Each structure stands twice: as C-alpha cells, then as structure tokens.
Structure 1
Amino acid sequence: MHNSNKKKVACGTVSAINGEIVEVKFDSGTLPSVHEVLKSEKEVEVSMLVIQTKPSGLIRAMIMSGNDLVCRGLQVCGTGERLMVPVGEELLGRVVDIFGNAADGGGKVEFQMREMWKHHKMDLTKVNTKKELWETGIKAVDFFAPLVQGGKVGLFGGAGVGKTVLLSEIVNNLTTLDGEHSNVVVFAGIGERVREGHELYRDLKQKSLLKNVALIFGLMGTSAVNRFLTAYAATTIVEDFRDRLGKNVLFVCDNVFRFIQAGSELASLKADIPSEDGYQATLTSEIAEFHESLVSTDSGFVSSIEAIYVPADDLMDSGIQSVYSYLDSFIILSREVYQEGRFPAIDLLASSSSLLTTEIVGLKHFETALAAKELLKRAQELERVVALVGEAELSLQNRTTYKRAKMLKNYMTQPFSVTQRHVGLQGEQVPLKKVVENVSEILAGKYDGVDEEKMLFVGGLK
C-alpha cells in the first residue's frame, strides 16, 4: 500500500492508547504532518494516520490496522506519505475495503493508487451544472422528488422502513434502464450489515450488472476508523473515475449517518469538546469534505444517491440537518406509511425536490404535482374529522377529496424488482409520462367509481 523505500521523516514512541486513538511522543526531528501515515518496523501490520499535532512533540493518530499489536512503548515512524486508496477500472466487479483487500472471495485485486484528500484546485469554469431529468421508473420518486443526472438525492428514514430496499431498486433501475448515463457505479457500504452487502452483491451478479459496479465496504463490525475512512475512500474512487478515466459515475452510499456516527465515536475517543447537540464539533466540515468531491465536471457527471438513517425518526436531529444543504431531492420514508402497508413507504407530502420546476420537468408535471400535494394536504386536514365521526359524516365534496387522496396514495405503491423473489409480485417500472397522465386522471375524477384498494401495487393505470 505504501512505498517503504521512502526516507523516514521521524520516529516516536506510543505513549497512550485510547481505543483506536493513540498518542505518540516524538523527542526530536521533524514532526509528521497531519494525514501522514505512520508505520512500525517491529510490527509491520501496524498502520496509523496522523490526525492532530500537539505541543511538545506529541501527536494523535488513528489506528488503521494492527490494533491488537499496538502497545505503549511501540516505536512508529513517519513515512512521508499520505494515505493512498485503491482506484481504477480493476475495482469494477469487485468488493474491497479501504486498503484494497478483496472481500468477495475472488482473489487478490490488482489496482492503482490515488492519494486521499489530495485537493486539486477545482476549475469552476469546468463544473457542469446541466440538469437532465433521470427517470427511475419508481412512481413516487419520479413524480414528487425527481432525480437529475449530476444531482444529489437523500433517502431519509428510521430503522426498518425500507431505505436499503428503495436504494437497491433505484440502483437496479438506473443501471438497467439508463446504462448509457451511469457508465460506472461506486457503492459505499458504511456501517451496514454484512447480510445487506452480500444480498446486494448477489443480486447484481445474478443480473449481470456487477461488471459496471465497484463496491467498497466498511461494515458494522469494523472499527470506527475503518467506517470513517471508507466514506472518503469511496469519494476518492469517484474522483478517479471522473477525472482520470472520464466516466459518468453514479455514487451510492448506504449509510451517511454511520459515517457521521463514526466521526462522533472518534471525537469522543480524542476527548474533543462536542457541540451543543452532542455531535462532534467538526461535523459540518466533515460533511462538506465528503460532498465536495461529488461534483460534475466536463470530464464526467457525478450523481449521488445517499441513504441517511434518522435516529428516533427525528428529522430535526442536527446530524441529519447537516446533510440537507448538499441535496437536491429529499425522499422521506415514514413509519406511519410503512405500518399502513403502503410500499415504498414514502411520505408524499414531506418529500420534495428543488428540481421540481417547469424548466426541468415541464409545465404539466409541475402543475399536476402541485395539485396532487394540495389534494393530499386537504385530505390530511380531514383525517382528524374522519377519526372522530367517520367518513360518512363528511360533505359530498370532502368525501370525494378524501377518496381521491386515498386513491392517489395507493396508486403510488409499487412492486419492486429487488423484492420480487420475497413477495411474489413482478417488479414494474412506470414511465414518468404515464405517471403524470394517471395522476391527472385521478385528480379529475376519472376513477371515482373504482375501489381505491384496487390501486394498490399496480403499475400504470389502463
């Protein structure tokens, strides 16, 4: 991973260990710089990354590998190198960790190296701001929170409401329906279960899509250092595909909150003073550094889809709020909708997109979406009345509004390809033009005589 022939900058001795954070005392010579890699000649498996320099020759470092071999008194030396991560087309079809070690049983991975956090000055004249609508075939997403090539979308939801399933379906549809747009997919699994990573790998392999996908994982059982660095390693891979290879990249991250959480764990081990809400004081800069690489340029588009776990279903959590400003579209998954049995469990009123404009989606889609949200809002106001006195006590006009809203919510359910073998329903993708047409018909009352239950888990209406 590192060139051992380079001259050592300085050597020091481990003086304190706190979990995955160590303090190293350097008596003389030049101190290693921040983000420099430290190695041990005695324990070759030990690798550390400098994260902080302190007065009197003391530095703090994260243990990247060889945790069990680190002890007080161990001598480590600077390498004069920053952290290098695996990049290149050799990663396509493979599953690796931040060091390039294969995790798919497919043998050693041959790859090239690129320096992490190597900030090239971005030429703003080469940033591509073109917005081209990108259909996923998922009705609720395309209609209420559309995606664009080169945009960023966040999937927000608590535990067990279907974030990973929806994320997998979007990836499946975009790679099969719009393969010419997403030349390559980079999937970053941060702090998620081994089972979920295995299922994704197996599904992609069965559908012959794996050849265009590079997967890098820092799983739930790994150290906070591994999970934290996996996010930055993934964005480095994205940069390499875009800048050096000129590829359009679809970046998929599951889960951004686990990256935030790993940073918080490391901050606690460093005994840093937290912010008022308990998160690390560096949260804002870490999220900014993560997202600043995900920019489209003349060399290639970078589109980002990020799953974000919402602790205690609290969307006002500061960790969640820190991600908002970097996203174009917000897809909110609701536990209430999930409990009602409507899948995907998307909160149609809470989900939104800054891309829902006449310039991008067209006048008809824009006006229909506004009318649909107005209908859902009116129906929401009627729900309390219905809960108290029943639907039969509503006026004729309000009953019509309430029924059409239920019909619209049921219409936005959809069977997914990735869950087909589990639920027995054939997955369907519906063109956006058809969705806009169907919603217009529902709003106009064309299906008022139809039982709203018949709208559940259908594709387009005939």
Structure 2
Amino acid sequence: MRIKLISAMLARRVPRKSIIDAIKKLQGLRSDVGTALAAFSMTSSQGKDAKCPGEAGKKSPCGAPAKAGGGTAKAAPSPATGSGAPPKSATAGAKGRIIAVIGAVVDVQYDAHLPPILNALEVPGRTPKLILEVAQHLGENTCRTIAMDGTEGLVRGQPVVDTGAPITIPVGEPTLGRIINVIGEPIDERGPIQTDKFAPIHADAPPFVEMSVEQEILVTGIKVVDLLAPYVKGGKIGLFGGAGVGKTVLIMELINNVAKAHGGFSVFAGVGERTREGNDLYHEMKVGGVITDDYKTSKVSLVYGQMNEPPGARARVALTGLTLAEHFRDKEGQDVLLFIDNIFRFTQAGSEVSALLGRIPSAVGYQPTLATDMGTMQERITTTKAGSITSVQAVYVPADDLTDPAPATTFAHLDATTVLSRAIAELGVYPAVDPLDSTSRVMDPNIIGAEHYGVARGVQKILQDYKSLQDIIAILGMDELSEDDKLTVARARKIQRFLSQPFQVAEVFTGHAGKLVKLEETIKGFQKILGGELDHIPEAAFYMVGTIEDVIAKAQELAKSV
C-alpha cells in the first residue's frame, strides 16, 4: 500500500516533503489499527470468562456491572459428593462439543481446559446417563473418549461437560444385595443406593509397605478345596468349568461360607457374560439366602456389565467391582471374596476398542497394552495389613488354546486353579472339583504344614492309582486285581465320595443339610481313610456328609435300615 501511494505521488510530481508527511500519517494510522485490534482481543477473552449475565461484582461482556443475585451459569453435573468422593480437577464444569462418533469411541473438542486422562465426561440430557471416559489427547484441544453406554443418537456439535473426576461409584455396606452397573447406578429397580461414601474406579495398587508378607490360607469350609487346592488370602484363583457342572452353586457356597467363617463380604462382577445367567444368579442367591431385601443381612454386592453392553462398559466393569472390594478391605478391614466372571471378556473388550483408539494390534489381534491392562487390575487384588481381597476368576480359553495371549497373560497372575470336571459331575459327586487337575501355589509343607501336605499327596496318589486301574477293571473286572490293588480301589472310592459335600445354598435341591467343615476335621477324616481305620465302613456312608463323625453316624443308620 505504501509503495503504491509513493508511486502515485511521484507520477503527479508531488514535492518530496509532502511525500514524507504522507508516509508518517500512514504509519500512525497503522499503529492505531494495531492498538484497536489488541483492545478488541482483550475484550472478547474477558467475555468468554464472564458470560452475560455475569457473577455479582464482575463486568459482563457488554460492559455493564452484573446485578447481585443475577442468574449464574448452570453448574455442570458431577459425581455425587460424599466422604469418599475424589477431589475435582480444575477442569470440572468445562464444556466441550462432540466432533466425531466412531462406534464406541467419541472425539470431543474443547476451546480450553482439556480434561485429564481417565476423567469422566457427561453428555447432558441423555437417559440413561451417558458417560465418556477420556482415553487420549489428540492435539488441537481434542480428546478421544470411550463411551460407557450406546452412542446411538449422538451428533456432531452436541455439548459435553467434564465432571472433574474419574468414574465415581457408591461404596460401602448399602451396596450389599444390590445390582449396579459400570458407573455405579442401581439396575435392580429398587431405587437409589442410600450412602454418602463414594470412590473412583481408578486407583493405584497398595504400596509395598502396606502389603502383608504372611502366607495364610483362606479356609473355605469346602473339603476338596481346602485339602487339595487351598486358597491363599489375597490370592487369585482361576475357576475352569463348562456349563452345568455346578460353577454357580460353588460360587454361592463360597460367598456364604466366607460370610459365616470370616464375617467377610463378597463382590460379584459379571463381565461380558449372558444377561440370563446374571438374572438367574441373582434369583438363586435370593432363594439361597445370600441376598435379602435388607443390606444388613445380605452378603454380596453385584456389578453387571453383560455381553449386550458396549465394549467400554465391559472393559471397566471389573474395575467397578474391584473398587467395591477395595473399600471393604481398606476401610472396613474385611477379608473379601471378589468373583469375576469372565476375566477373558475383560481382555476381549479392551481389544474391541483398541483399534478404534488408533493402536496397532499385537499378536492375534489383541491390544498392544494387554499385559499392562491386566497387570494394572490384578496388582490391586492383594492382601494388606487391613484385610485381604481373594479373587476367584472364571477363565474362558478360546478354542481350548492355552497359548492364546489372553488366557496366557491371565495364568501368569494365578495362585491356584480349581477345575470343575463333567466326568465327576456325572458320577453325582458335588462339588465336581477335579482333585488331580486342581493346583495351588501354597501346596508347600513350609506353608500349610507337613501333616496337611502329606495327607493331600496321599489322597492324590490313591486317586491316581485308581484312575490307572480303571481300564483293567473295565476289561477284566475287579476279581483279576491283586489284594493290594483291591484295597486301593476300595479306599479311592471312599475318598471320592467323601470329597462330596452338601451345600447350604443347595439344601432346597438336595434335601441334605449344608455342612461347613473345618480344615482340621477335613485332614483328620482323610487321614483315617488313608490309614485303613474305616475300611469296614461301606462306601455309601461317605457320600454327601461333612465330617468323619457324620460318616460313622450314617453307617450306623444304614446298618439299622438293613
């Protein structure tokens, strides 16, 4: 512009002094424009911070002071506050807008105040409530989030509000007997949970100084478990079993016995399994007395994120259940049982959203963060000086391939395995735990004691010998066996039947009164069978009883009936 002006003046033969004066005026005009632009920029930034009408004592964007008691910006929805509510971040209430919806993944853009990773964002006006969890920061004030519910109906430009904290759920005894979802909302149609205690689902594992170094057995009162594959307090147990072999009944009995023997509570997290099974479990627990209408007499909290839920919910519902268990352990000093059914679905849900988050798949299509995701959760399941969380995790093995990365990663964290066998269930022996396939890390004489270890190995040896003789018996018959082998078979059959046990939660089905057997009674009973002290008692007397005294009493009744 300056060059054009000078050229025009020279063409008209304007005096040099006049040209210099014109240039100075032009420079002054340019300076005035710059000052005006700066002033406009400052005014607009103030307008963003104090929306009209503003708060009392502040200037509104239009320049007039706001009236005292005038309308204020509507508060952002936030997690319920209480004694356990996490502190809000500085971004609480910040508003963003949706710029992309890709299945379960939603991109949200903010003008400023980008929410931290793992913060929960809420989409206002949605029923049921839709929570988005921040997973990545993409740049240009954009974050990528994972939806905890269906994204149907979301549109670009829709507003989103930062809650200022991670997903926060109600915790404590009022959750007992209730069913909640991944974001802590009750889904059992029994109204809201009345509590003032809340906790975020994301937490660090306990520091080393708070962990207990003692190896202590969690006595379950179930003979076959306590004798042959004992659970360690704070340990992780893999539960393997197909449909119809008694997995649900075993879980309910464990919940019942832990409540009776240790006064502890249990948490059941249904991760990506059938809704029908979750419904059946709830009603069976009500029939079995594990759940009542009053939380003071209920023994278990239920957390469901079933297979109809989007992958975001299935990837986080195990953490919701774990948070409930952590509260019982850390704040109430309980020995807690945490059931996760199924731990494979936790990994599967993570792999579903991994590609949408832009990660390059790892082996067999799983997420590259598989080991990290699993380890972050499993390390929170441990024993502290306050209490313990013992986890029983159902493990699905895809295509029976134990080398698949998902189950292989899980196996690295397990302390014991409880295998339910269909062949044993077909014999009518319940619980149908396979005594030869089930294992435990604490089967060590230095931990469980020499007597317990010796009896357990003696029981397994006789059962293994009986198994190897079954082919001979099937072909040639019992008469072709030696006297020692006949004695081995007789004792093995008694042991097999003595491993059965009537469950309290199954009384309505079996007609037998439930029995909770102490570990000392279990060891004493099997020791007598191995020593030959009960060779004269018929094997029918060993079926569906508790202690060895019950065997003797049943044998006397059988003798009278004959």
Q: After TM superposition, is the score higher than 0.5?
A: yes
**Correspondence for 1:187 among 268, 276, 294:** 268
Contact 1:158–1:311, Cα closer than 8 Å, also in 2 = no
Residue 349 of structure 1 aligns with an amino acid whose one-letter code is L
CA contact (8 A) 1:158 1:312 kept: no
Shift of 1:99: 2.7
Aligned pair partner of 2:231 in 133, 147, 153: 147
Kindly indicate whether the alpha-carbon contact (under 8 Å) linking 2:233 and 2:383 is maintained by their aligned counterparts in 1.
no
The one-letter code of the counterpart of 1:39 is E
2:78 equivalent in structure 1: 2
Q: Is the 8 A contact 2:91 2:114 kept in 1?
A: no
Displacement of 1:249 in angstroms is 3.0
Q: Say yes or no: does 1:437 pair with 2:524.
A: yes
Deviations 1:41-67 (A, max 9, x none): 565843211223446666432212463
Q: Which of the residues 191, 200, 204 maps onto 1:119?
A: 204
- Residue in 1 that maps onto 2:82: none
Q: 1:127: Cα distance to partner?
A: 1.0
**Who is 1:157 aligned against?**
241
State the Cα deviation string for residues 73-108 of structure 1 (Å, max 9, x = none): 534354543222222343234332233322333321
Q: Identify if the C-alpha distance between structure 1 residues 431 and 77 changes in structure 2 by more than 3 Å, giving closer, same or farther.
A: closer
Which deviates the most, 374-383 or 413-422?
374-383
Structure 1 residues 379-388 or 431-440, which shifts more?
A: 379-388
Alignment TM-score, normalising by the size of structure 1: 0.86
> Please, which of 393, 414, 427 is the counterpart of residue 306 of structure 1?
393
Give the distance between the partners of 1:130 and 1:319, measured in 2 at CA.
30
Aligned partners of 1:420 and 1:290: how far apart in 2? 36
What's the secondary structure of 1:99's corresponding residue?
A: coil
Partner-residue secondary structure (3-state), 1:60: strand
Task: Work out whether residues 167 and 307 of structure 1, in 8 Å CA contact, stay in contact via their aligned partners in 2.
Answer: no
Bigger radius of gyration, 1 or 2?
Answer: 2
Aligned pairs for 1:247-286 within 5 A: 247-267=334-354, 270=357, 272-286=359-373
What's the RMSD between the two structures over aligned residues? 3.1
Shift of 1:223: 3.0
Seen in structure 2, the aligned counterparts of structure 1 residues 368 and 296 have a Cα distance that, compared at 3 Å, is same
1:372 aligns with 2:459: yes
Relative to structure 1, the CA distance from residue 408 to residue 316 in structure 2 (aligned partners, 3 Å threshold; closer, same or farther) is: farther
Cα offset, 1:291, TM superposition: 1.6
1:35 is matched with 118
Contact map agreement 1:145 1:352 (CA 8 A) in 2: yes
State the secondary structure of the residue aligned to 1:106: coil
Gaps of 5+ in 1: none
Rate the CA distance shift 1:134–1:29 in 2: closer, same or farther, 3 A.
closer
Q: Residue in 1 aligned with 2:49?
A: none
The match for 2:326 is: 239
Cα deviation for residue 417 of structure 1 reads 1.3
Q: Structure 2 CA distance, aligned partners of 1:26 and 1:62?
A: 14
| Residues in 2 aligned to 1:207 and 1:11: alpha-carbon distance in whole angstroms | 42
Q: What is the TM-score when the length of structure 2 is the normalising length?
A: 0.72
| Paired AA for residue 420 in structure 2 | L
In structure 2, stretches of 5+ residues that fail to align are: 1-76, 80-87, 553-562
- Deviation per CA, 1:327-377: give whole Å up to 9, x if none: 332211122222333211111011121222334332211111111222222
Distance of aligned partners of 1:201 and 1:261 in 2 relative to their CA distance in 1, 3 Å threshold: farther
Give the Cα–Cα distance (whole angstroms) in 1 for the partners of residues 330 and 533 of structure 2.
51
Distance between the aligned counterparts of 1:343 and 1:235, measured in 2? 29
| Residue pair 2:100, 2:108 contacting (<8 A) in 1 also | yes
**Distance (Å, rounded) in 2 between the aligned partners of 1:133 and 1:259:** 28
Cα 1:25–1:62 change in 2 (3 A) is closer
| Match status 1:355 vs 2:433 | no
Q: Hey, what's the Cα distance between the residues in 2 that align with 1:312 and 1:389?
A: 37
Amino acid at match of 2:117: V
Q: 2:336·2:390 contact (CA, 8 Å) conserved in 1?
A: yes
1:65-76 matches, within 5 Å, as 65=149, 67-76=151-160
State which drifts further: 322-331 or 74-83: 74-83
Higher relative contact order (CA 8 A, sep 6+): 1
SS of residue in 1 equivalent to 2:442: coil
Question: Following the alignment from structure 1 to structure 2, what is the Cα–Cα distance between the partners of residues 225 and 284?
Answer: 18
Residue 205 of structure 1 aligns with which residue? 291
- The amino acid of 1:38's aligned partner reads L
Q: Whose strand proportion is higher, 1 or 2?
A: 1
Cα deviations across residues 209-263 of structure 1 (Å, max 9, x unaligned)? 7445333222343333223211111212222333344444333333323323333
Cα distance between partner residues in 2 of 1:228 and 1:195: 23
User: 2:97 matched to 1:97?
Assistant: no
| Residue type of the alignment partner of 2:414 | L
Deviations 1:92-148, CA, capped at 9 Å, x for gaps: 34332233322333321133322222327x431221122333322211011101224
Q: Is the 8 A contact 1:14 1:76 kept in 2?
A: no
Pair 1:361–1:224, CA change in 2 (3 A)? same
1:166 is matched with 250
* SS of the residue 1:26 aligns to: strand
